[in-house]
Amino acid sequence: MAAARRTLRWVAVAAAAVAAALALDNGLARTPPMGWLHWERFLCGTDCAAEPRRCVSEQLFVEMADRMAAEGWRDAGYEFICIDDCWMAPTRDKQGRLQADPARFPGGIRKLADYVHSKGLKLGIYSDVGTKTCAGFPGSYNHYDLDAQTFASWGVDLLKFDGCNSDSLEQLAEGYRLMSLALNKTGRSIVYSCEWPFYLRPVQKPNYTEIKQYCNHWRNFYDVYDSWSSIKSILDWTALHQDTIVKIAGPGGWNDPDMASTATCIPLEASAKKTFHQLLAENGKGENWGRNMEGKGSDGTLGSGSCLHKQYQLRTQLVIGNFGLSWDQSVTQMAMWAIMAAPLFMSNDLRHISPEAKWLLQNKEVIAINQDPLGKQGYQLFKDKNFQLWERPLSGRAYAVAVLNQQEIGGPQKFTFSLTFLGNGLACNPACSIRQLLPASRDCGVYSWISSLSVEVNPTGTVLLKVLPL
Ligand code: GLA
């Protein structure tokens, strides 16, 4: 019976693919998926003896799942907790199945999935279309069905499928298609995250209509880094290619500009055992530092639970942590990922996160824009030497509007723009009410179609607005 149902599903999927369905027909990712993914923050840490709290291990995911459930992340919409590369043992098991590294994941993935599910969350896992993953662990080439079945039997809910180590582009494309079909054949709902267009692009123009038939979201561009130059390059690339990629995004299939590394907290190791004033003296006299009091010892030193963060300042200098975005740049990333209808995967350490970063990442009104049910991706309307203006059509004839100040010198700059042209002349016609969501929320009032609006934007920062028709 189950086999017959699976066969039927497969026939249905194959038929749908042949019939050029608009989106992968698995009913998933109707809005951009949200969650946490280990890569940008934790990379390929495998030495748990030396770095027990930073290595890619069962413990890391259990601790993140605990935080996600207990500290408002799940309730804000971040439902997937995703394992990236480096979770595997170096070889497959005797039956040819992928297996987790037994020392780092002693309970195995099934047990971890059960734990994650018990917290009301979903588990994501990682594999690769080629013979090896990008970090050199076993890839899924020639094992697509077996690996899909293994993931389904473990209770996995999302697969990030990387594109390293294929012999040819044909093999890469075929692998992405076959894994999509293999996941569907399992009968389990598994969101399928691809990097297919990114690996094709240097040689071939991606066929997004086809990619959308197989994938729930797809990476187009390089990995995000924890730096302003990386965020800028992703935004520039997206604006440059918007004529091709914006129209393809929608419920079931999204352009993926990669993880949100937004975090402004610098965790202190227990060994630091320094007072706040010592740290100030060593790391940034005269700068505007703040701190989270959590973890402060009775002797006034800051222990491993402490969290030091620079507040509202513009220098991108790295001091003791590896966090490259200023407050304004973090605001820009959050605002622009909402405008771009981007899958919202954080890659940060939820055990050490500043109240400001948490406020930003859990901001209900901004998340509502990211998750807007109309599912239309936003686009750049205007750009000059100093400013970029973006808009995103929302349900209920509303629009999200972002003004980014790309100057990296000077102070806040005023940008004035006419409301007449927003939404092709419809957003504020005949009138609209405007609310600012970022960097702080406030009602801006009611405007008519022929009005202009002025906003003040910090260097590398963004003002995010919601325009509601009246
Ligand atoms: C590639 C991907 C990254 C990450 C690494 C893991 O670079 O683009 O997102 O998954 O591989 O090795």
Task: Tell me how far apart the alpha carbons of residues 315 and 288 are, in angstroms, rounded to a whole number.
Answer: 10
Beta bridge partners of 417: 453
Task: Tell me how far apart the alpha carbons of residues 112 and 229 are, in angstroms, rounded to a whole number.
Answer: 36
Task: Tell me how far apart the alpha carbons of residues 367 and 334 are, in angstroms, rounded to a whole number.
Answer: 9
> According to the model, what pLDDT value does residue 262 have?
57
Rounded percentage of the chain residues whose pLDDT exceeds 70: 82
Question: Which of 40, 223, 234 best tests ligand 1's pocket when mutated (most atoms within 8 Å of CB)?
Answer: 223
Task: Tell me how far apart the alpha carbons of residues 294 and 230 are, in angstroms, rounded to a whole number.
Answer: 31
Which of 285-289, 312-316, 337-341 comes out lowest in average pLDDT?
312-316
Other beta carbons less than 10 A from residue 355's beta carbon = 14
Handedness of CA 49, 54, 56, 60 (dihedral sign): positive
227, pLDDT greater than 80? yes
Q: What is the pLDDT of residues 248-295, one digit of tens each?
A: 999 999 999 998 865 444 434 333 444 433 443 444 333 333 322 233
Q: What is the pLDDT of residues 59-74, one digit of tens each?
A: 999 999 999 999 999 9
Instruction: Tell me how far CA of residue 329 lies from CA of 61, 184, 387, 413, 458, in angstroms.
Output: 27, 39, 14, 15, 9
Rounded percentage of the chain residues whose pLDDT exceeds 90: 79
- Which atom, in ligand 1's list, is nearest to the CA of 135? 12
The DSSP code for 421 is G
Question: How many angstroms separate the alpha carbon of residue 134 from the centre of ligand 1?
Answer: 6
Decide: 280 and 289 in contact? Cβ < 8 Å.
yes
Indicate which residue's Cα is closest to atom 11 of ligand 1. Answer: 134
Question: How many angstroms separate the alpha carbon of residue 160 from the centre of ligand 1?
Answer: 9
The closest of 193, 57, 43, 35 to 119, measured between CA atoms, is: 35
Decide: 418 and 448 in contact? Cβ < 8 Å.
no
> According to the model, what pLDDT value does residue 304 have?
35
Helix (H, G, I), strand (E, B) or coil at 23: coil
Task: Tell me how far apart the alpha carbons of residues 470 and 427 are, in angstroms, rounded to a whole number.
Answer: 9
Q: What is the pLDDT of residues 171-207, one digit of tens each?
A: 999 999 999 999 999 999 999 999 999 999 989 999 9
Decide: 218 and 179 in contact? Cβ < 8 Å.
no
> According to the model, what pLDDT value does residue 313 have?
29
Active site residue 162: yes
Which of 128, 162, 328, 372 is flagged as catalytic?
162
Question: How many angstroms separate the alpha carbon of residue 375 from the centre of ligand 1?
Answer: 26
Rg (alpha carbons) of the chain, rounded to whole number: 23
> According to the model, what pLDDT value does residue 100 have?
98
Q: Residues enclosing ligand 1, CB less than 6 A?
A: 39, 84-85, 133-135, 162, 195, 223
Beta bridge partners of 253: 250
Question: How many angstroms separate the alpha carbon of residue 280 from the centre of ligand 1?
Answer: 36
Band (22; pLDDT cuts 50, 70, 90): low
111, pLDDT greater than 60? yes
Question: Which of 133, 134, 225, 234 best tests ligand 1's pocket when mutated (most atoms within 8 Å of CB)?
Answer: 134
Give 47 or 308, the one with higher predicted confidence: 47
Domains belonging to the chain, first-starting first, are 34-265+313-371 (3.20.20.70), 379-469 (2.60.40.1180)
328, pLDDT greater than 80? yes
Task: Tell me how far apart the alpha carbons of residues 55 and 350 are, in angstroms, rounded to a whole number.
Answer: 15
Active site residue 223: yes
Indicate which residue's Cα is closest to atom 9 of ligand 1. Answer: 223
Strand runs labelled E in 98-257: 122-128, 158-162, 191-194, 217-219, 254-256
Q: What is the pLDDT of residues 79-107, one digit of tens each?
A: 999 999 999 999 999 999 999 999 999 99
45, pLDDT greater than 50? yes
Strand runs labelled E in 180-322: 191-194, 217-219, 254-256, 266-267, 274-275, 289-292, 301-302, 307-310
Instruction: Tell me how far CA of residue 299 lies from CA of 274, 302, 358, in angstroms.
Output: 10, 9, 28
> According to the model, what pLDDT value does residue 41 have?
92
Task: Tell me how far apart the alpha carbons of residues 186 and 146 are, in angstroms, rounded to a whole number.
Answer: 10
Band (23; pLDDT cuts 50, 70, 90): confident
